[in-house]
Structure 1
């Protein structure tokens, strides 16, 4: 199963996998990895990948020839299922997240029964996204089933902060519009025939908008295009400025007490 998450400007494909159990024929295991290969190949390189699941294999406590995909902090002895997983990760330049952090045994063992304790559940991510995951460990006190333990992966994805665009275009000083000017503008627009016309709606709209901009520019004036703080606000005047300065002075005096 695959789901896509869009976080900020990042697209994350999350894949859930379940490998054939130990004891099944090699053909079933081969089909599993062929199907998983097809899913991963269908994901664009620009997208992040998180593969999580029960792979029914032991990758072993050390990297031993798989340093590029095994972080060196595994559990137990490697078996055939673990080697298949490591080969798959190497082919797609993935890294096994829960082998990248030194942990106590309780935080490595994902499967525990009265007769065995093993590590068979894993998270895999692109090697180039190694900086995204900050931790990966088992929560011993939480069970998903009777024998499987909860494996948690901590990811940190930065959201793109879009910078506010500040336009340098000259703008009409709409802040200076008063009821009296509104009536005067309305009379002039009526004389220009801004509201008259028929036919295409776009043509009528463009004509009205053009007339409004022309009259408003003449009556209200046009700014130079630079952001001028409070200057465009009708309420920002000398009286308000004086009160703001008095407030600052009072606060400074209070802080000195």
Structure 2
């Protein structure tokens, strides 16, 4: 099941699934992960993606060579389904949330057998690596009154959004006398047009907040027309020649990795 919720700043896609058991046929497992992959590929890349469900995978604590897909806070022994789930997460830049946070074992075990002896962590919640640090907690709630031998798995997500504004105006351009004159002329023309409009419409007693909004709009429009936005500059303490060395080094390293050629001494220039 896939659901998408639209938000003001970011959209969230939820995928709910149920994986075959560990002793199921290999073809059945392959079909499940192909279906899950197809559903994931339909999700826009900028969405916060959350995949939840009974994956029947015991992921354990060992995350050697898989630290991007899971943490060291899992529990129980590993099974074959674990390899499939971790490979799926590695391929799609997903992380298993239940392995990231330190909790008592009773708050990590998600399933209990009918005889009460076997307990495992087989229900999981994954999110895309881009939003890994927005995931603040994953915890099992044992007190939920539900007719199942699975416990409720909860997650806390706190979105950390960056400003997407266009930046500040390039006021350094005002040092030029020509741009100063053009900017002043823009302001005079716009304020004159505003005054004429007020006289025609008889808006002399207009509320002060509305007048202030018009004044700020005039300054913004004039700044955009004459100044533009300040361009992001590189670090001034790095000289252009050093940047050239850095780019050359990067290109040679990419070439070496692409062709699996050992790096020769003196092949890559050193930045000074």
**Alignment check: 8 A CA contact 1:3 1:13 kept:** yes
Question: What displacement does 1:40 show?
Answer: 0.8
**After superposition, where does 1:71-220 map in structure 2 within 5 Å?**
71-113=71-113, 114-157=116-159, 170=191, 215-216=200-201, 220=204
Structure 1 distance, partners of 2:85, 2:15, is 15
SS in 2 for 1:152: strand
Structure 2 distance, partners of 1:11, 1:136, is 21
Structure 2 distance, partners of 1:111, 1:15, is 20
TM-score for the superposition, normalised by structure 2: 0.61
Cα 1:96–1:161 shift into 2, 3 Å: same
Question: What displacement does 1:68 show?
Answer: 1.3
**Alignment check: 8 A CA contact 2:13 2:49 kept:** yes
Q: Tell me which residue corresponds to 2:60.
A: 60
**What is the CA RMSD across the aligned residues, in angstroms?**
3.0
Cα 1:133–1:32 shift into 2, 3 Å: same
SS in 2 for 1:130: helix
**Alignment check: 8 A CA contact 1:143 1:150 kept:** no
1:10 aligns with 2:10: yes
Structure with greater contact order relative to length (CA < 8 Å, sep ≥ 6): 1
Task: Name structure 1 gaps, 5 residues minimum.
Answer: 174-209, 228-257
Q: Tell me which residue corresponds to 2:248.
A: none
Structure 2 distance, partners of 1:141, 1:221, is 63
Question: What displacement does 1:143 show?
Answer: 4.9
Pairing partner for 2:215 from 220, 226, 239: 226
| Aligned length in residues | 185
Q: Tell me which residue corresponds to 2:49.
A: 49
Cα 1:160–1:72 shift into 2, 3 Å: closer
**Alignment check: 8 A CA contact 2:22 2:79 kept:** no
**Alignment check: 8 A CA contact 1:8 1:160 kept:** no
SS in 1 for 2:82: helix
Deviations 1:6-52 (A, max 9, x none): 23210110000100123321111100000001111111211110000
Question: What displacement does 1:160 show?
Answer: 8.4
Structure with greater Cα Rg: 1
Structure 1 distance, partners of 2:199, 2:30, is 73
SS in 1 for 2:58: coil
TM-score for the superposition, normalised by structure 1: 0.64
**Alignment check: 8 A CA contact 2:22 2:80 kept:** no
Question: What displacement does 1:99 show?
Answer: 0.5
Structure 2 distance, partners of 1:158, 1:6, is 17
